């Protein structure tokens, strides 16, 4: 078994460090970019309601946030789902060609895609959806009950089956790596962490509970979403619902 200094993680951190002497002498990696936005043009579209913001206190949400794994059977409304999606990747401004969002991204390249596994929601059929950021709509990818399959792919974390909603975030590495090379992989994980924290705090402010999930069989979740695991791959998840604890 490799020790710390022999591990892939250690080697990656060392290989992607910035150094004053090497930064501008290092050979640039030739990585072709990917399209800025992903859409499913044939998928049925569900417009999300315009978010309505309350007067929730940020500091109260920050103090009260906890990882909540047990939920009631209460379904989420489309308004609640809209607020959570806006917290994740809502567009808030435009700077030249860049559409800026609620969460920061290195170089405003936004490599993260948001998928929703809907188990129980008002006015929304159970199934899998993709957040189309530009038009702020949900693209329906599949109808049905996928919570059990997601839970089994997540090392039997059965809140994925019992929560009314599970966010699943994938990344398209080329978007960031085309500019930053292998160093960009660091930024990709920062980006998705910013997004997840936004959702966790928004859920808390809304009286919901949420739990980030990093343990799963990557390619099993990729397979559910029909992702190739190379050009696009799942990296993070979060369950959301009304807390039962």
Give me the sign of the Cα torsion angle 95, 98, 104, 109.
negative
Strand (E) or helix (H) holding 91? strand 91-95
> What pLDDT is attached to residue 18?
84
- Spans in the chain with pLDDT lower than 50: none
Token readout for 30 is 């030739």
Query: Which residue ranges form the domains of the chain, and what is each CATH number?
Result: 51-241 (3.40.109.10)
Residues whose CB is less than 8 angstroms from the CB of residue 73 and which lie 6 or more positions away in sequence, other chains included: 120
pLDDT tens sequence across 93-124 = 999 999 999 999 999 999 999 999 999 999 99
Q: What is the pTM of this model?
A: 0.95
> What pLDDT is attached to residue 77?
98
Give the 3-state secondary structure of residue 133.
Answer: coil
> What pLDDT is attached to residue 23?
67
Helix axes 184-205, 78-89, angle to 10 degrees: 150
> What pLDDT is attached to residue 184?
97
CA distance 200 to 195: 9
Strand (E) or helix (H) holding 44? none
> What pLDDT is attached to residue 196?
99
């Amino acid at each position: 078994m490799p020790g710390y200094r022999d591990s892939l993680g250690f080697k990656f951190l060392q290989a992607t460090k910035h150094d004053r002497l090497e930064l501008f002498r290092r050979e640039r990696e030739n990585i072709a970019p990917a399209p800025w936005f992903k859409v499913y043009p044939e998928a049925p579209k569900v417009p999300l309601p315009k978010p309505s913001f309350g007067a929730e206190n940020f500091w109260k949400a920050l103090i009260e946030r906890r990882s909540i794994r047990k939920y009631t059977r209460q379904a989420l409304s489309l308004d609640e789902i809209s607020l959570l999606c806006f917290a994740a990747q809502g567009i808030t401004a435009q700077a030249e060609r860049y559409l800026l969002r609620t969460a920061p991204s290195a170089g405003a390249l936004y490599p993260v895609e948001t998928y929703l596994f809907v188990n129980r929601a008002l006015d929304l059929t159970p199934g899998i959806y993709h957040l189309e950021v530009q038009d702020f709509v949900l693209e329906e990818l599949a109808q049905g009950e996928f919570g059990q399959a997601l839970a089994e792919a997540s090392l039997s974390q059965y809140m994925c089956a019992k929560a009314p909603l599970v966010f699943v975030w994938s990344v398209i590495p080329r978007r960031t790596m085309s500019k930053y090379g292998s160093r960009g992989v660091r930024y990709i994980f920062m980006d998705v962490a910013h997004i997840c924290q936004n959702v966790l705090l928004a859920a808390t402010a809304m009286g919901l509970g949420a739990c980030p999930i990093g343990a799963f069989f990557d390619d099993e979740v990729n397979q559910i979403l029909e992702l190739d695991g190379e050009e696009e791959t799942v990296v993070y998840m979060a369950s959301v619902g009304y807390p039962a604890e």
